[in-house]
Amino acid sequence: MPGRPALDLAPGLPERDADRLREVISGLLQLHDTMSQRAEAAAVADAYIALSDDGRHNFLRLLARDFWTDARKVDDAVAALRFGQNRRTDERRLRDVLVPPADRLLRLFSGLEGGVKFLVDLRADALRVGGDDVELTDLDRELRAQLATLFDVGLLELRRITWDAPAALLEKLIAYEAVHAINSWDDLKNRLDSDRRCYAFFHPAMPNEPLVFVEIALTVGLAKELAPLLDARAPDVDIERADTAVFYSISNCQPGLAGVNLGTALIKQVVEALRLDLPQLRRFVTLSPIPNFRTWVEAALDADGAGLTEGELELLPAEPARALARLSATDWDTDEAIRPALLALCARYLTSAPGGRALDPVANFHLSNGASVERIDWMADTSPLGRSRSFAIMTNYLYEADRIAERAEAYAARGEVPVSSEVRDLLRQ
């Protein structure tokens, strides 16, 4: 912005510069001229970008400490509401004093050129450099609330990404892929081939920045292994014969949007887009990791089977301590005697929802979105990561378009976990 005032701060934002910054922010919040206020806010944003991590942490703490609600003003407004004569006026006054000055500054940031992305990155910094700093808790909530409004799904655009997309966008897919790393341009081209689909959400203020994207393989029948989906040498599937869409990776691209659940809407909209594009598709499933299953099993066995059911203990090929030792061996996967126990344990792990939330974070995500646990796949991800996380087991979650809303509500309200008959049989063992 021409004529923007410069604000030169030391990278670590020492107390002397923090005092100066405090005065600048206080002053700009009192301005009535919109253009001047925006110019001052832009100068503050520019100065923030130049700070080190320590400086950014100090900046965020300054907002949380010095530009939050005034307890005295809140008490006065509450008293006025209780004893005053004009209730509506007093309610408005209370609402006004409950809005922290930091909120107004954040809204000014979002209105700047590039301000929406700045706000997203600001929250990413709050999560990254703030760590367990409890002083930033309320500021993070305020940031998340503003971002949830700015990124309402009604404002977002769903786009299919193909190999013809700009190179800069394709590079971002490689960088942002969080589930199954994209190892080369050939790997990426395979994932965007004729029998593949990739969809992403975009925001009008960030048209070249994917917010969250999902990768899909079109298959004949239910995919039970990961390797064929990622194998660039595998023959292409004739999409006219494909009857199943397998969602095998979903990646959030903007750390600052953590907790702003865009994945739910993405999956629902992608299902509808695929149904229109390929009406012969009959199944919409995931092939999903089970990130913490191995840790859960090892903890249960290390505790001498505490928490395991009588049936699960009977399925173990040895007493818990010896079973744990066998699973620690490098060739444990050749021990067929351990398979029934691991599958039964995995079924319970995926369907346990104490307090209405599944133990497994991926299960919680898909169940919240209205999916059901369709199948547990033995030796589905034999990569070192898959073995270390879940004994190479993966799971299929099924999305049935006409039951998504019903199942999502049942899970949210009552913690109900819908399962297929095959998974139910594993739970009965």
Where are the alpha helices (H) located in 216-277, listed in sequence order? 227-230, 263-277
388 is catalytic: no
Query: What are residue 396's DSSP bridge partners?
Result: 375
> Alpha-carbon torsion 8, 9, 15, 16, what sign?
negative
Exactly one of 249, 366, 372, 390 is catalytic; name it: 366
Q: Which of 110, 288, 372, 390 is catalytic?
A: 288
Pairing of strands 157-160, 244-252: unpaired
- DSSP annotation of 203 reads B
Give which of 392, 380, 395, 388 is closest to 228, Cα–Cα. 380
Q: Judge whether 32 counts as a catalytic residue.
A: no
Distance CA 381, CA 377 (A): 9
Instruction: Output the DSSP codes for 277-333.
Output: H-TT--EEEE-B--TTHHHHHHHHHHTTTTT--HHHHHHSSS-HHHHHHHHHSTTGG
Q: Considering only CA atoms, which of 395, 272, 388 is closest in space to residue 345?
A: 395
Per the CB < 8 A criterion, the answer to whether 245 and 267 are in contact is: no
Q: Which residues are designated catalytic?
A: 288, 366
